[in-house]
Structure 1
């Protein structure tokens, strides 16, 4: 995984962690701190079977986060049997002996969990969920069942089905994506054959297909044992009661064999190696350079973290100055560490502008590095980077799950959650000399792996003397996948237990929905201010949102608001782009400006103590834009490059084509707010200035703010904007009606050789302000909005293995609404997938039962306990209140809507808003093999769009 050091850092004077170990000595805080410092307390204990347990109390919201982390990733697989760790990430959600078929996913739907999920890295696999606090015992019971009472439920049909799901995930994330194979080319060449990091976490299609049931069970029994697992529970919990539950459900799971310590396996390259590949999905050339680095928490990782950040991020970055500013070869340089338990790597990636020779990019990189060798890094820049790390750290702690993840990370890979004190000390100890030292040690003059990934037919752009990379692409073969019957119940003998584990624990005391207190003020200029004071972390998140955006543009100049918004962050009247950037970063703040379909927004995050200074900079950005010509020209090129990349991405293609069919050429909403290559080329800086002077007004502005800041402090910080921003009249024009199809039509966009077909089916539907909008969204839960609780997922993923994921949704705002179904399906079942979706839609209302309604109500009502946990969630709440006219207690009102719903009500909503025979069907895939079959849907010949 990408080295995420910045999410784990903070200045020592602000942060301490201590632990109490049961039956062991208690450790006190190492340094006496001031009362107002930010602290994370935790308690750690170990069961007799080796299970490590970490508990953290946070009563700010009535929720609890449970994370089970196994110290096993792809690094503990065998060559030729790769992908097992990731396969188990999937399998453990399906069934266990006492949860039954559907396992944790099914239970999650009933208890209002935040979507049971998991992730796999090279070195660990985790399973996590946030639930209302009354469901904590249920979650502990379920996690214990996965660890000790699971493997008997895995049968050949279960394995066959999940192999298909994982292979679909690989097609979606790798085979069908631009530059998708880049990682595997780098890792298989950077690490020697047999090194645990030489293969990909997701594994190979061949290895997955060859995996036997015995292989899988052997892997599980070796690694999924209590003495290789850490259980983290954080949130509104009672420590004593939680300990009792953990011991009850986990104590009798037997300890496994001793787990060997993972020894460091650093690599050394004996020569530089250059490889290339012509990518079917890429539209721009990309150069990636990879050097051997260091493992996680290595003493040099701290200086390397600063080095990669300084070299690539921002106006002062040496690589940015040459590649972006001077040579104009790209709009972005990425340089980061990818550190893991036994080794690490340094990754430098540049996606160049169209038709740029990568030798030119390599020469510019060399020049940028030479500049760093000459000038090094200053103390001021070093401190600037550390300030940003502080803010990132707090953001990572704004949820109980984030706190739990961090504690588990230190426990597993550093041996103690309290390692954070040492971690911070290492960060604070980094000097400019350290940064130069690690550059000389790991980069200067060192061998590396370089990959040139270029569009098909553009092999002339690769680095000179590159060799063809060894990439095996899957062939599209009809009927190639094995069939299976996922409905077959597993036949097994249950594992003995000292008590009846089949009895699901009762709920605890039901938590009340806590509605954050909202304050409001209307300023004299017309700005409406909405705020929530929250002191859980010393952060403030804010957004100044000006209504309009794409809605106020002309079709022939689409992209004006996007360019204008991005240019507003590139300097002010009295600050150069570099000076503005440095001023923001020196505060540890993040401020960004962007445009959407319906707004122009300046948003950001800052430490509460720097809110005033941050808002001073926001005021400059808004009232005194610089209109820098050089930055404008660079942004135009960057935007065109982005548009070109989107043309190669099947997910972007399907969204653009869907909008065209939904809205028609005369509706501005048919256009991507980036614009087209032609429209962006035609836009001048005068167009941006006109949009700014005519369309931006306090009369259309809402300011949302959440965090450790009072109403008075916020209003005072807005006074300069309130007094100096001239008010003007601007109105949102009435849009043409979206085109509701009288009969369904199928449209096909050809991507030759696509390994998946990306589908988007739907039609215009409810705005978020419509009376039925929320009820319709609730109705959709069992159709496709409820992940594994939905029929679409159960039928297409779990039942057939056609897809990695599928969802349906109502998506509306104050100006438009649509209903859509989205998925990526295996190419050779494109028609079968579309036909099955159509069938499910047609029968959904008729088949809807009291059981469906009970599950929907259970999830919807119970999940409300965690509705406003994070700062982002509270900010979204303010947006709903200000932009959609919702009441402050709209969440309470929604509870009433759900409680009053009947099956007849849901069926009436289905009849009114789910119409499969009046739907736009968009498919992006391989026309040669799939187009003709789609006539069987009954809507005539599919219309080829390209």
Structure 2
């Protein structure tokens, strides 16, 4: 790491102007992250950051091990450990950190694995800090003896299901595998994927696993970060107590930087089982994380591909109409980096024409470069994104550990803005010439089945291993088997869980409101933790005000509103937004049109002035209208390839029925979007957007008077209209359950959607039903569905249940992706859990539910986003300002008999729709065993 630090320090001498600029920013915002570091005798590095804004604390354990430390043939181990460490340790017992998290009101213990590090993290009320340190130390020093053959066999199935869900069962899922296999040589640690291969995971032995843990999970390879509201001296004592006697491991040598060193262009193609559109993906070798060139490469990628002013947008999207968008990003890791570009073409477009357009755009960039103005707008956006990444205590904790490991300097948290702002136009052209111009690259053509003619010429067939659906192929395991092991010695009794500290007092933010004469409501919260403001203008309507023959009008309108204004071209509008370091988005939902965004506090008024133009002075650009229609149709086509999207859309049809407008996808259909005219959009806009149907929500570094004045200016010329909402059909649960099946031949997973029309959020029973659902499927690892289908059987990577209502009745939904060859078994187990839940819910279940739902309120308002969500609930459902405290009282008072009654009423498995999206040839007939009659096939015939 010393070499990285040397390069960074050398680079600092070249950026005096950038430092001056960023110093002015720091002085203007007063933003700086204070922290303290120390190292235990066993090598554990500890970083503390104190933040008193909320009574919460984030704890993260980061191990300097990712897939790059694995052996060929034993890939996926680092990610496998991310799973294993949550299950059990010697002193936490079965359920491990997940079980503890549910009791103490944690945000949900989680982890992530990259090529170079694995981290474990969660945010908890600050009275649970000692408990968390005890638990994290138990994972590090008192864990490995609890890993048995059955535990390993089960978790292999969970990880394999994650791979099926995130890679094997989605369009273009194998692209990164093909890229990395060809970008890096076989002996390079980035040649394989972080998640590993199904074969390697299956072949992992208990001995392999223990060897991996003992090599990498040692204090001298780990960083502990604690960020939030806590006493540093007290916490130091706890850290020393719980971590201090864990033995140091062998010295771990640094890995040398290993650039890809590609010698020639490689072109590959693959016929994708799920793709409906051809996609081109490029990778150029670049530099590792925190290399001095990484910042200019980030700017290069943003300039070339992001937004309407981007050269690739102008050529490939607007001019040649080859694709709806181009994505480009610099993917950096510890040992090497790669500049990536992804282009999903329109239906029927040859990828050779896309490649020719890419080459043409590069040539133009070589001649013109990047202007100072473009560079300024990109930096403004990067500055805002940087502050957003540090807006929570967990975000600060993450970044401190990241900087310590990969930059050898946690104080980069206060210096990286210097590097971001120091990039010059010359730097951008220099890195382009050094890493892209006339340099070798890997490019893949992923095309739909039977459409190899669309692949790049002279491409070679890529090698991809596709899993076959084989019934009964998975390894059996028995988790009930009695296991004994020798305990790791300790100087004190670690089986005793530490007590809670002083109970945190829930701080409900002070909320202000104001009602304008035109009927618009304003709700706000002032919070100056970071120099940002987030806002949201919600207008009732959305798809509810559409004609069934032209569904998709509100979505098209939302898209078009950001495509220029009366006085600004689309490019000029986008540039004006970006120069402010702001984002402004317009989107349509089933029930609303929403204009939302964020900006630096100092630019609030200027940002709202642009919102005013977007809202009240549309451009109605005919060229942009046709382009937007084409982009939406492309999205609709691609959705047809995604089992998850298919499940969502087919489930809506079952829930709402054919006569309800909300049975439709708010994107519309290919046919309805083709029919929509500009006049349809203008009529919708003129008749339906009215301030008396709107609310404006604002949170952040801004006082009430200033916030309200901005909204008054925004809405002064917005006229009130009389808007008529049509009566909607009543929704009712089915009288008896029925199974529906949508066939996706060769699907590696079956996607389950099980449920019925249940409750509106304004119903008296909605929140009590949510309490009831916590132990069923709303509590992640604390839920029965997760414990039985994932932890007990290894059927799935994840499963959840919940009530989703608004002022209108919405569905109760259980959703999951399960491995194909146990589809019937998984659905039958869900059915059994639903049948038994009202009977087996007990006092212990209620205690866990109450513990989580009351203690978790301490972290309910930490981020700007969470504060904005609270305002939405107050505005949308007319809740009192202290509704969180009132709900907390409801949780405290609820009883086991009340929960049982709610479960009897709202989760009856015999009155639900059972929708399965999967491989009908192997799974359809078996589902008749559920006892709900012959399954209804929704598409085609099974061959």
TM-score with structure 2 setting the length: 0.97
The superposition leaves residues 82-108 of structure 1 with CA deviations (integer Å, 9 ceiling, x where unpaired) of: 000000000000000000010000000
Q: Quick one: distance in 2 between partners of 1:780 and 1:507?
A: 27
- Provide the rounded CA distance (Å) in 2 between the counterparts of 1:456 and 1:85: 34
Match of 1:194 in 2: 187
Question: Could you tell me which of 890, 893, 906 is aligned with 1:900?
Answer: 893
Give the C-alpha shift of residue 323 in structure 1.
Answer: 0.3
Match of 1:712, SS state, is helix
Match of 2:792 in 1: 799
Q: 2:517 aligns with which of 524, 529, 551?
A: 524
1:214 is paired with a residue of what secondary structure? Answer: helix
CA distance in 1, matches of 2:480, 2:685: 60
Match in the other structure for 1:25: none
Q: How many residues align?
A: 925
* Equivalent residue number for residue 664 of structure 2: 671
Residue in structure 2 matched with residue 889 of structure 1 by the alignment: 882
Matched, 1:717 2:710: yes
Instruction: Describe the shift of the 1:97–1:13 C-alpha distance in structure 2 as closer, same or farther (beyond 3 A).
Output: farther
How far does residue 642 in structure 1 lie from its aligned partner after superposition?
0.4
Whether 1:376 aligns to 2:345 is no
Paired position in structure 2 for 1:150: 143
2-structure distance, mates of 1:464, 1:845: 61
Moved more, 35-44 or 502-511: 35-44
Question: In the TM superposition, what are the counterparts of 1:778-927 in structure 2 within 5 Å?
Answer: 778-927=771-920
Q: Are the aligned partners of 1:699 and 1:729 in contact in 2 as well (CA < 8 Å)?
A: no
Asked if 1 retains the 8 angstrom alpha-carbon contact of 2:383 and 2:417, the reply is no
Q: Compared with structure 1, are the counterparts of its residues 688 and 205 closer, same or farther at alpha carbon in structure 2 (3 Å cutoff)?
A: same
Question: Is the Cα contact below 8 Å between 2:612 and 2:715 reproduced in 1?
Answer: no
Equivalent residue number for residue 301 of structure 1: 294
Aligned to 1:324: 317
SS state of the match for residue 256, structure 1?
Answer: coil
Post-superposition shift, 1:13?
5.8
CA shift in 2, pair 1:868/1:778, >3 Å: same
Residues 33 and 414, structure 2, Cα contact 8 Å, conserved in 1: no
User: Does the aligned pair in 2 maintain the 1:563–1:636 contact within 8 Å?
Assistant: yes
Contact 2:611 2:714 (8 Å CA) reproduced: no
- Distance in 1 between residues matched to 2:25 and 2:517, nearest whole Å: 47
- Mapped contact 2:533–2:601 kept (Cα < 8 A): yes
Select the residue among 397, 406, 415 that pairs with 1:413: 406
Deviation of 1:33 after TM superposition, in Å, equals 6.8
Instruction: Provide the secondary structure at the position in 2 that maps to 1:40.
Output: coil
1:276 to 264, 269, 279: 269
Q: How far 1:55 moved relative to its partner?
A: 0.2
Task: Tell me the residue number matched to 1:245.
Answer: 238
1:345-360 alignment runs, 5 A limit:
345-360=338-353
Q: 1:703 aligns with which of 682, 696, 701?
A: 696
Residue range with higher mean Cα deviation, 36-45 or 690-699: 36-45
Q: Who is 1:691 aligned against?
A: 684
1:705 partner SS: strand
Correspondence for 1:223: 216
Contact 2:18/2:419, CA 8 A, preserved across alignment: no
In structure 2, the CA distance between the partners of 1:32 and 1:189, relative to structure 1 (3 Å rule), is closer
For structure 1, which runs of at least 5 residues remain unmatched after alignment?
17-30
SS of the residue corresponding to residue 783 of structure 1 reads helix
Is the CA contact 1:291–1:443 (under 8 Å) kept in the aligned structure 2?
yes
- Distance, in Å, in 2 between the alignment partners of 1:515 and 1:14 is 37
TM-score (structure 1 length as normaliser): 0.97
Instruction: Quote how far apart the aligned CAs of 1:420 are.
Output: 4.0
Offset at residue 936 of structure 1 (A): 0.3
Separation of aligned partners in 2, 1:32 and 1:54: 26
Q: CA deviation at 1:618?
A: 0.4
Question: 1:655 — aligned with what?
Answer: 648
Structure 1 residue 338 and structure 2 residue 331: aligned?
yes
Shift of 1:11: 7.3
Name the CA distance, whole Å, in 1 between partners of 2:27 and 2:292: 29
CA contact (8 A) 1:14 1:37 kept: no
Aligned-residue offset at 1:721 = 3.1
SS in 1 for 2:814: strand
Q: 1: distance between equivalents of 2:842 and 2:200? A: 42
Residue by residue, what CA displacement relative to the aligned partner does 1:115-138 show, whole Å, maximum 9, x if unpaired?
000000000000000000000000
Pairing 1:459–2:448 present: no
In structure 2, the residue matched to 1:361 is: 354
Give me the whole-angstrom Cα distance separating, in 2, the residues matched to 1:477 and 1:220.
32
Deviation at 1:489, TM superposition (A): 4.1
**Is residue 15–residue 38 contact of structure 1 (8 Å, CA) maintained in 2?**
no
Kept in 2: contact 1:12–1:421 (CA 8 A): no
**How do 1:21-420 residues align onto structure 2 when only pairs under 5 Å count?**
34=27, 37-420=30-413
- Structure 1 residues 844 and 771: alpha-carbon distance in aligned structure 2, compared to 1, 3 A threshold: same
Residue 423 of structure 1: CA displacement? 3.2
Q: Is the 8 A contact 2:370 2:428 kept in 1?
A: yes
Match of 1:617 in 2: 610
Aligned match of 1:26:
none
1:502 counterpart residue number:
495
> Which residue pairs with 2:630 in the alignment?
637
Could you tell me how far 1:719 is from its partner in structure 2? 2.3
Corresponding residue to 2:543 among 550, 569, 574:
550
Cα shift readout 1:227-270 (whole Å, capped 9, x = no counterpart) = 00000000001111111111110000000000111210012222
The alignment partner of 1:50 has SS state of coil
Change (3 A) 1:431 1:15: closer
SS at match of 1:355: coil
Shift in Å at residue 737 of structure 1?
1.4
Q: 1:28 matched to which residue of 2?
A: none
Residues in 1 aligned to 2:551 and 2:18: alpha-carbon distance in whole angstroms: 45
Q: Deviations over 1:401-458 (max 9, x none)?
A: 0010011110000111013455333333321111111111111111111100011111
| Alignment deviations for residues 134-169 of structure 1 (CA, whole Å, 9 cap, x no partner) | 000000000000000000000000000000000000
Residues 806 and 33 (structure 1 numbering): CA distance in 2 closer, same or farther, change over 3 Å? closer
Task: Describe the superposition over 1:545-587 as per-residue Cα deviations: whole angstroms up to 9, x where unpaired.
Answer: 1001011111101000000011111110000000000000000
Cα deviation digits, residues 688-736 of structure 1 (max 9, x gap): 0000000000010000000111111111112233320111111333211
Shift of the alpha carbon at 1:488?
2.5
Secondary structure at 1:512 match in 2: coil
Structure 2 stretches of 5 or more lacking a match?
A: 1-7, 9-14
Cα shift readout 1:612-660 (whole Å, capped 9, x = no counterpart): 0000000011110101111111110000000011101000000111110
Question: Aligned partners of 1:816 and 1:337: how far apart in 2?
Answer: 44
Please name the residue that 1:23 is paired with.
Answer: none
Map Cα deviations across residues 19-51 of structure 1 (whole Å, 9 max, x no partner): xxxxxxxxxxxx997485211100000000000
Q: Alignment partner of 2:578: what SS? A: helix
Inter-partner Cα distance in structure 2 for 1:136 and 1:287: 48
Q: CA deviation at 1:194?
A: 1.2
Query: C-alpha distance in 2, partners of 1:235/1:814?
Result: 37
Residues in 2 aligned to 1:487 and 1:389: alpha-carbon distance in whole angstroms: 52
SS in 1 for 2:49: strand
CA distance in 1, matches of 2:645, 2:417: 41
The residue aligned with 2:508 is 515
Q: Are the counterparts in 1 of residues 18 and 422 from structure 2 also a CA contact under 8 Å?
A: no
**How far off is 1:789 after superposition?**
0.6
What RMSD, in angstroms, separates the aligned Cα atoms of the two structures? 1.4
3-state SS of 1:264 partner: coil
Give the Cα separation in 2 of the matches to 1:169 and 1:821: 18
1:673 aligns to what SS in structure 2? coil
- 1:742 aligns with 735
C-alpha separation in 2, matches of 1:34 and 1:645: 48
Q: CA deviation at 1:466?
A: 0.7
SS at match of 1:939: coil
SS in 1 for 2:33: strand
Q: Is the 8 A contact 2:126 2:230 kept in 1?
A: yes
Counterpart CA distance in 2 for 1:171 and 1:833 is 16
In the alignment, the residues of structure 1 paired with residue 271 and residue 688 of structure 2 have an alpha-carbon distance, to the nearest angstrom, of 45
